[in-house]
A and B are shown apart, each in its own frame.
Chain A
Amino acid sequence: MRWLLVKDLQILRRSPLLVGLLIVYPVAIALMIGFALSSPPGKPKVAFFSQIAPGKGKIAFGSQQINVSRYANQLFDSIQPIKVHSRAEAIAKVRDGEASAALIIPADIIGQIQSLVTQGAGNPTVELILNSKDPLERQFADQAISARLSQVEQAVSKQVLRVAVADLQQVLNGGKIQFLGQNVPLLGLRNSRTIVAGAISALPTSSSLRLALKQVVSFADLAIGGLGFATPVLNSIGTPLTVQQTELAGRTTPADTYAVAIAVVVSLMFVTLLLAAGMLALERSENAYSRLVRGLVSPARLLSEKVALAAVCSGLVTLVMAAAVSLFVHLDWGRFELWVLALAVGGVAFGALGVAIGGLAREVSAASLLAFLLSLPIAFVALVPGDAVSSGVRAALDVVAFIFPFKPALQAVSNAFSGASPGIGWPLVHLVVLAVVFGALARVALRRFASA
């Protein structure tokens, strides 16, 4: 087997285009993923036109004012604003493709908010114009602006509530308010009740005012009790729901590590399948198979050699790839031996699938094409989220994912990278079983080599 390995490595050494492709491909994927994960998300260009006159972005509320313009500036954190001077200009920017969306703030929005806050009637509306030519760009701009608008909306609501609560506290407890530029003391409901109660006790028991003042005290007690509840109620409106998150599956792989694992396993799959299928088919294309199996090399040993060659080469390439990606994304180097184990066993399972393909296809070009065509759906099926499809389709996808090595290889590699539960034991057992099954299939397929 050693001499066959040496021979195959010599052949690979003399196929610089193929070897270059096998090295450049995963490195390019690694760099792309690294840059994508380490770069902050981009901001969509948005034409922005505000019809609010300068200095007019304030709402008077009770004794205080809220500056809405201050909150509107938060919107610019998630977009690249292109400030324009008219609605028509904003639309033109979107049409020309210079901006992916336009956001127009109407002149009456402050009045509408003021009316809503003070009278409960009003419909403050901003206008969002999206370019529908590119659905992905449209969705990106829509999500970026909508998410930020809802944050602004929530911030304004909280500020309004804070002002309302402060005013209520003053009504309840007293304080000072600004009126015509002067500080005016406000007695407050509690102080008023104390004063009235004191006045009652000072009155003679036969005074006809006692009954009337007692009614005032009773009202004050009710009002104090009711307003006492108002503060926590209003505060709760600001954040009505708190989500308490519990992870049931134990420690899971972080999303960026999982993305790296996908890239590594896709590369492992491509390189291993193409090498194993191609190098086995080459034995027949070169007519050497009949010479080899007449007692020189057993078919099982020949298959083992191809699997080992493909697994070692792809294992090395993907290890280098993982090391390169670790410059951008945190991978747990303390578990390096588990990386090697996961990639090695994954490589063997993919290699067994590769020799089965090579045995069935028999020609190098057909084997390469078949390996390539099979790779894409295998990866796709394993990556479809279970909840995204109906239960029937999900069951079918689960079966397909189970009989090919991509999913267990992905579980083993991602868990090896991150140390996530449930470890790599079961995925490795799964991969070993698949390697045995595909190896047996390849052995049967080799009979076609001899008879054809």
Chain B
Amino acid sequence: MSSTAASGERPTTIEARSLTKRFGARVALNEVTVETQVGELVAVIGPNGAGKTTLLSILAGALTPTSGEVTSAPRAIGWVPQQTALYRKLSVVENLRLFARLEKVADPDNAVERMLQQADLAERAGEEVGRLSGGNQQRVNIAIGLLSDPAALLLDEPSSALDPRQRERLWEFISTLADGGTTVMFSTHDVAEAERYGERVLVLADGELLFSGTPAELERTVGGDARDFESAFVRFLRERGH
């Protein structure tokens, strides 16, 4: 099934049509169409190998689709890959300044200062990234994705390596971004996290987009008698042969 976001009043930030990606004979993504709106929080869930990272990488411009198109410019989208994409030998501020210059941000120093404040990293600005905790590295990772002040931010499993306290702080930060009008699309293995923070969920399995809607709509799709959202999600996949 291909789907778009429910038609909304808000302007579109990401628009991608009929995305297909093949790695040799393997089809990682098959005819997937996605749209997001300003300030929307979209969770992408699915079993391992579903195509979540491939979808986000294509939307970010880090991977070229075999067919289909993304109409949004890569510069309008912030990208936070699953593993922290940082230079461990450089300090926090050096990493931010480097990517601000590469992104050709109008005022790099101002953008760096803004991100240090926004990500609460000002006190750690001079520390080498390799010496920071996993949580702080992830904050730098996200801060780099936000340097160009993008309309949409893509996060690939942003909380996977964090402890519960760090995770809580991360979601507070992400929610603030969405409240400020930034579209946030994130992939996760934690279905409860998707239900809790995702305004809309996209369900992928074997490269196919099976569902796009709110968590409550997914529960209703499987009959409404599921114990919780996770049970509903598992039943949904089973009913569709996954």
Contact = CB atoms under 8 A, between A and B. Distances in A.
A288 B101 CA distance: 15
In the complex, the 7 A-B pairs of residues with the closest C-beta atoms, listed nearest first: A294-B61, A287-B85, A290-B62, A296-B102, A295-B74, A291-B85, A294-B62
Given A287-B83, A291-B144, A295-B74, A10 B89 contact: yes
A288 B63 contact: no
A11 interface: yes
Interface in A277-319: 286-288, 290-297
A273 B51 CA distance: 37
A291 B79 contact: yes
Contacts of A296: 99, 102-103
Chain B contact patch, size range: 20 to 34
A294 B80 CA distance: 12
Contacts of A287: 81, 83-86
Interface residues of A, number: 21
Nearest to B21: A451
Interface string B56-97: 010011110000000000110001010111111110001000
A451 B66 CA distance: 12
Contacts of B144: 291
A179 B94 CA distance: 103
Contacts of B90: 7, 10-11, 14
Contacts of B103: 296
Interface in A1-48: 3-4, 6-7, 10-11, 14-15
A164 to B, nearest CB: 83
Contact of A11 (B57, B74, B81, B89): B89
Given A295-B75, A450-B62, A286 B87 contact: yes
Nearest to B128: A14
A286 B102 contact: no
A294 B98 contact: no
A3 B96 CA distance: 12
A451 B64 CA distance: 10
10 contacts: A11-B87, A287-B83, A287-B86, A288-B87, A290-B60, A290-B63, A290-B85, A294-B61, A295-B75, A296-B102
Contacts of A288: 85-87
Contact of B99 (A6, A290, A291): A291
A356 to B, nearest CB: 22
A45 B90 CA distance: 58
A286 B88 contact: yes
A296 B103 CA distance: 6
Nearest to A290: B62
Contact of B74 (A6, A14, A294): A294
Contact of B98 (A7, A14, A293, A451): A7
Nearest to B129: A286
